[in-house]
Structure 1
Amino acid sequence: MLHFICLILLASGFIVAQEKHLLCRTTDMELFYNSCGSSTETFFFEVEPCYLNGFSKWNGTIFWIPKRDLTFLRVILTLRHKTKKVIEWRHVACTGEDDEYTYCGALKGETINTTVRMSGDKVNIPMGKYTATLKGYSGHSEADLFVCVNFTLILKKEPAYNFR
C-alpha cells in the first residue's frame, strides 16, 4: 500500500511552479501538488487509473529531465494526517551498481521516459486531508536536494478495494 500511496501522490503533473495545481479529482478524492524547492525540474508522473476504489494495480509513467546525474538517488516521502506523521518512507533508488530502475545512471539533461507497474495492499485509510512531501537527493547530504514536491490529498470517502 505504501508504494501505491507514494505513486498516487505523484499522479500526473509538471513540477515547475510554486502555485498549487489540481492533479486528479474523482468522487472519492482530490489531489493537488506544488513545488517546495527552488528547482524548476521538468518532472511528470502519471498513475492510471487515477483513483483508489476497486483497484490494486496501477501503471505509472515517468517523464523526467534531471538537472543532475542519477548515479545516486535517495528519496524520502513523508505523509501527514492533520499534524501527525503517518508514514516516513526512505528508499535509495540508485546506487551506481546493479540498479533495478532503468533511469539510474541517466546523465544531467538526458530524457527519462519509462513506465512501471505498481500494486498496493489493502489498508484502512480514514477520510480527511493528508499532506505529503517527496524529496529527492543526489547524495547523502541535505544540500544534495534536487527535487521537492508537496502534495495535498483529500479523501472524501474510505477506499474499498477489489483485490484479485
Structure 2
Amino acid sequence: MFPFMLFSTLFSSTFTEPGEKRWVCNSSDTSVWYSYCDNLKFPISVNAEPCITLKGGRGKLYLYYIPRRDIKSLYFNIYVSFKSVNFPVRKEVICRGSDDDYSFCRALKGGLPTASCGKCDNRLGTGSSSLAN
C-alpha cells in the first residue's frame, strides 16, 4: 500500500491530462480547438489567419505566450471537426529538445520568444504556416 501511495504522489504531476478545449476558429468546413496542460487560465493564445481549411490553403498560425520555464519540449493537442464529425485528437510535436525546426524551442524562462522556421511547409494541415510571438 505504501509503495503505491508513494508512486502516485511522486508522479501525479508528471502524468497530466489536457485541460479544457479552447476554440481557435471556424471555417466553412472545419472547426479547430486546442488544449494545454497548465494551471494558468490562459498561458497560451493561438490564432490562425485565415482559419485552417481541409481544402488546402495558405495561412499563418500565431502563438502568444511567455514561457514560465525553459522550453525543451512542446506539443499541442489539436481537435478538428469536419461537418459535425469529430476527428481523433492529433498530437503535434513542436519542440523535441534537439534538431528543432523553430527557433523559439530554446527560449528561456520569462523571455519573449521570437520565431522563425526553415521547414514550415505543410504544418498543421496548411500549405504554409509560420509562428509569430
TM-score, normalised with respect to structure 2? 0.48
Q: Which one has a bigger Cα radius of gyration?
A: 2
TM-score, normalised with respect to structure 1? 0.41
Please identify which structure carries the higher strand content.
Answer: 1
